Amino acid sequence: MEKAVSGTKMFEADISAAAGISEAFAGADSVVHLAARNHVLKETARDPLAEYRRVNVEGTRNVVRAASSSGVKCFVHLSSVKAMGEESKNILDEESPCAPKTPYGISKLESEEVVRAEATRTGMRAVILRLPMAYGPRNKGNLPRMIRWADRGFPFPLFQPDNLRSMVYVENVVAGIMAVLKNPPAGVSTCIVKDKEDCSTRAVYSAICRELGKTPRFLSIPELAVRLGGVLSEDFQKVAGSFRVSSARFEKEFGFTPPHSLEEGIARTVRWYLDSAH
């Protein structure tokens, strides 16, 4: 279905059904594929992996095939570092073995394989961008939960006080995509895009509290108690643990430097939260 918004054509299509996608791509030189099933806070599917595959794998297959058949020259596929795993003691890069642990991560790795196969078959240029935890205004996920937690004045539970995590602000993602579109490489490339510096959960929560005008408070919990007793929810464990990736390849190949800092990204996200909450 086609819509017109501010002079720009807008199309609505179900990627898992394929209908209407080729019409949207008519005349396009490049396609940026972000549509996916993610951030399912309360899973209701009887078979989550099958549902993730229906959208993220088969849907991506429909999109990339429609793009290649429409003569698109460059296909940018947004993936996730969850295709590589959930946590690691080492800094991972594009050459690290992939061992996804969740249905979402498995489906994203399989979606990458679909893009590589179709692009290789047709000669279309393709760039797969793996993102760590993305944050910014209107984004769902763990950071808005942390903001709500801080706004209520709750202490944040820590079981790895010196943990480090890679994150990426949405406007840094946009800047990375634009860098690809300006000079797409030949063949198929896989790159990681992230903020310039990794940060601890303590630093993130403290930055959030500063923007809210609150004093950050933390609750130390022994890691063994967390592992054995399930003291923290799975979501809190994800942001409180360590998971680092390297974007050195992307920065070198595209001459890219993330234009926005963590502090700037969190400040804008908190302001959006405050505006939307009142």
List the domains of the chain with CATH numbers. Answer: 1-131 (3.40.50.720), 135-167+197-251+260-278 (3.90.25.10)
Q: How far apart are CA 87 and CA 81, in angstroms?
A: 10
* Mean of the per-residue pLDDT values of the chain: 89
Query: What percent of the chain is predicted at pLDDT more than 90?
Result: 68
Reference 77, options 117, 109, 112, 119; nearest CA is: 112
At 233, the pLDDT band (50, 70, 90 cuts) reads low
The reported pLDDT for the residue numbered 254 is 95
Q: How far apart are CA 37 and CA 75, in angstroms?
A: 19
The reported pLDDT for the residue numbered 46 is 86
The reported pLDDT for the residue numbered 206 is 94
Phi and psi angles of residue 18, each rounded to the nearest 5 degrees, phi first? 80, -30
Residue 165, pLDDT above cutoff 60:
yes
List, in sequence order, every residue forming a beta bridge with 190; answer none if it has no partner.
128
- pLDDT tens for 86-127 read 878 899 999 999 999 899 999 999 999 999 999 999 999 999
Say what the pTM is: 0.90
Query: What percent of the chain is predicted at pLDDT more than 70?
Result: 90
The reported pLDDT for the residue numbered 1 is 56
Contact yes or no for 137/266 (Cβ under 8 A): no
The tokens for 80 are 């996730």
